[in-house]
Structure 1
Amino acid sequence: MSKGWWWIAVGAVVVAAWAARGGDSPETAVPPPRATASDTPRPPAPKPSAKITPSPSDWSTNYDPASFAVQVRRSAGRAGIKPQLLMAILYNESYKPHDPELERSWQRIKPDAAFGIANMHRAAFNETKRGRPFAGRSWEELPDHPELAVEAAAWHLHDLAARLPSRTRGTFSKDELLALGYNTGSGNMRAFATGAKPGAQAQSYLDRLHQNWAKAANAVRVP
Structure 2
Amino acid sequence: MGEPRSSRRGLALVAVVVVVAGWAASRGGHGSGSAGPAKSAAPTVSSAPESSPTGRPSPTAADQDPARFAPQVARYAEKADVDPQLLMAILYNESYKPHDPAWERAWQRIKPDAAFGVANMHKAAFDQVKQGRDFAGRDWQQLPDDPALAIEAAAWYLHDLARQLPAQRSSPYPKDELLALGYNTGPGNMDAFAQGAKPGSAAQSYLDRLHANWSTAAQALHHSR
TM-score where L is the length of structure 1: 0.76
Contact 2:22-2:46 within 8 A present in 1 as well: no
Shift, 1:13, TM fit:
9.2
Counterpart position of 2:153? 152
Give identity over the alignment, percent.
Answer: 61
Is structure 2 residue 188 aligned with structure 1 residue 190? Answer: no
Contact 1:142-1:148 within 8 A present in 2 as well: yes
Contact 1:89-1:118 within 8 A present in 2 as well: yes
Shift, 1:61, TM fit:
7.1
* Unaligned ranges ≥5, structure 1: 22-57
Counterpart position of 1:120? 121
SS for the counterpart of 2:145 is coil
Q: Deviations over 1:112-146 (max 9, x none)?
A: 10000000000000000000000000000000000
Counterpart position of 1:45? none
Q: Deviations over 1:132-172 (max 9, x none)?
A: 00000000000000000000000000000010001111210
Counterpart position of 1:41? none
Counterpart position of 1:68? 69
* Matches of 1:109 and 1:145, distance apart in 2: 22
* Matches of 1:133 and 1:4, distance apart in 2: 31
Contact 1:61-1:99 within 8 A present in 2 as well: no
* Matches of 1:69 and 1:189, distance apart in 2: 26
**RMSD, matched Cα:** 2.6
Specify whether residues 111 and 161 from structure 1 end up closer, same or farther in structure 2 by C-alpha distance, changes over 3 A only: same
SS for the counterpart of 1:140 is helix
* Matches of 2:176 and 2:88, distance apart in 1: 12
Larger Rg over CA atoms = 1
Is structure 2 residue 192 aligned with structure 1 residue 172? Answer: no
Shift, 1:3, TM fit:
2.4
Shift, 1:63, TM fit:
2.3
* Matches of 2:132 and 2:61, distance apart in 1: 29
Shift, 1:5, TM fit:
6.5
* Unaligned ranges ≥5, structure 2: 1-20, 27-44
Contact 2:90-2:210 within 8 A present in 1 as well: yes
Counterpart position of 1:3? 23
Q: Larger relative CO (CA 8 A, sep 6+): 1 or 2?
A: 2
